[in-house]
Amino acid sequence: MRVIVVGNGLAGTIFSKTLRELDPEAEIIVFGEEMYLYYPRPNLIGFLAGTLPYERVFAFPAKWYEEQNIDVRLGKPVKRLYLDSQEIECDGKREKYDFLLLAAGSKAFVPPFQGAEKQGVFSLRTLDDAFTLLEWSKEHRKATVIGGGLLGLEIARALKARGMDVEGVEFFERLLPRQLDPQGASVLQEQIEAMGIKVFLGMATEEIFGRDRVAGIRFKGGKELETKMVVVAAGVRANLNLASEAGIETDKGVVVNDLLQSSHSSIYAAGDIVQHKGSFYGIIPASFAQAQIAAHNVLGEEKKYEGTVPSNSLKVMGIDVMSVGIVNPEEGTYEEFRKEAKGEGIYRKLVVQDGRAVGAIWMGTKKNASEIMRIVSQNSAVEKWKDSILEEDFDFSVL
């Protein structure tokens, strides 16, 4: 059996690793667009901050791929898929496959700001991006990060660790709008600003101005910030060109069934490129699970992917943040319970529906975080304890 993997990021690598564990004989060929072996994207932050040396950025050494008999071809983007003949095209040559995994991931999204093409405007998605950012920062010591989500905050922290003057700008009225509620975001903002990073909220970027190079940012309403370096962290978009040009069904991602098959039965998908039952996850736990399940299904084992509960266990600016399930309920019979120690940066929240835990935020402490994640993931009944569950001495063994 010959299996081709398009993409050597998390999904492509975990798929290949799992497939090799399940089938010692399968021929596995991985085509990677970048010139580097697989590295976890979060490692880019440590590398940018100067806390993770280059050699430790990568998950596996080159020798590991040899030992696993995984043929990884770097700097080799796949240009075209031929569905009828089950072939791919790379470097003008065609390669046959029995099964193919689309794991092309996603690319950084830069909104169409006026001036976004100027020198000094960056995004961080690849190792080459990190090298480029570091080179520019040698001469330009003030940076403005557009985007108050996880990546934006982590980039701001990394540049601050390099001794730079850093400020962050967020379009929404709070930080981490997907993971936190307004109260939790306020607690986090206080902690971040205490580190010397200025935060601007509710600011819509209109123009990045300057001649050829960045001189500043102009926002709707007329406010301006002077800066010599702009890093845009405004989310990602799935790399769909290859799939859509081949005639595979796509929407926000490659549309897959419960077996992670695309609209073409010999082609599976995993990772940031996947859209399953209308959901587009773009998170590490989903990519990991999809990659493993797809490997089983390529071998005909028919394991179903049942979705991933949105959860994040993060360290934001060195602050522990755990967010799981529904944290900003809009309508319905939800109850919300909170406990806050603002001066200490601690904030805990539980969301309950029909007596069951459906969401939680746990910030500033790791104590009981794993237990809270467990009960939300299992949709545990908590009606008897919902008023006391946020206490530090609560006994989770009763659940």
Give the domain CATH number at 165.
3.50.50.60
**Residue-number span of the structural domain to which 162 is assigned:** 110-232
Same domain, 92 and 127: no
What is the CATH classification number for the domain harbouring 356? Answer: 3.30.390.30
Kindly state whether residue 345 falls inside one of the protein's structural domains. Answer: yes
Question: Measured at the alpha carbon of residue 75, what is the angle toward residues 73 and 77, in degrees to the nearest 5?
Answer: 90
> Distances in Å between the alpha carbon of 375 and those of 30, 149, 315, 324, 399?
38, 26, 21, 10, 8
Look at residues 42, 43, 44, 17 and name the one whose alpha carbon lies nearest to residue 30. Answer: 17
Tokens of 218: 């102009």
Same domain, 134 and 85: no
pLDDT of residue 71: 98
Our count of domains for the chain comes to 3
Same domain, 79 and 162: no
Kindly state whether residue 369 falls inside one of the protein's structural domains. Answer: yes
Tell how strand 87-90 and strand 93-96 pair up: antiparallel
Same domain, 122 and 98: no
Same domain, 251 and 169: no
- Which residue in this structure is represented by tokens 């940076």? 143
Distance, CA of 116 to chain centre? 23
Beta-bridge mates of residue 207: 114, 218
Same domain, 75 and 175: no
Same domain, 194 and 275: no
- Does residue 359 sit in helix, strand or coil? strand
Kindly state whether residue 306 falls inside one of the protein's structural domains. Answer: no
Low-confidence ranges of the chain (pLDDT < 70): 311, 342
pLDDT of residue 188: 92
Look at residues 8, 3, 112, 129 and name the one whose alpha carbon lies nearest to residue 59. Answer: 8
Residue at a domain's end among 249, 271, 298: 298
Kindly state whether residue 305 falls inside one of the protein's structural domains. Answer: no
Residue at a domain's end among 269, 298, 327: 298
Beta-bridge mates of residue 232: 146
pLDDT of residue 163: 95
Length of the chain equals 399
pLDDT of residue 319: 86
Residue at a domain's end among 191, 213, 232: 232
**Cα–Cα dist 121/111, whole Å:** 12
Question: Measured at the alpha carbon of residue 108, what is the angle toward residues 290 and 330, in degrees to the nearest 5?
Answer: 70
- Which residue in this structure is represented by tokens 């000094």? 120
Same domain, 251 and 294: yes
Give 339-379 pLDDT, tens digit per residue. 998 678 899 999 999 999 999 999 999 899 999 999 999 99
Kindly state whether residue 380 falls inside one of the protein's structural domains. Answer: yes
Helix (H) or strand (E) holding 328: none
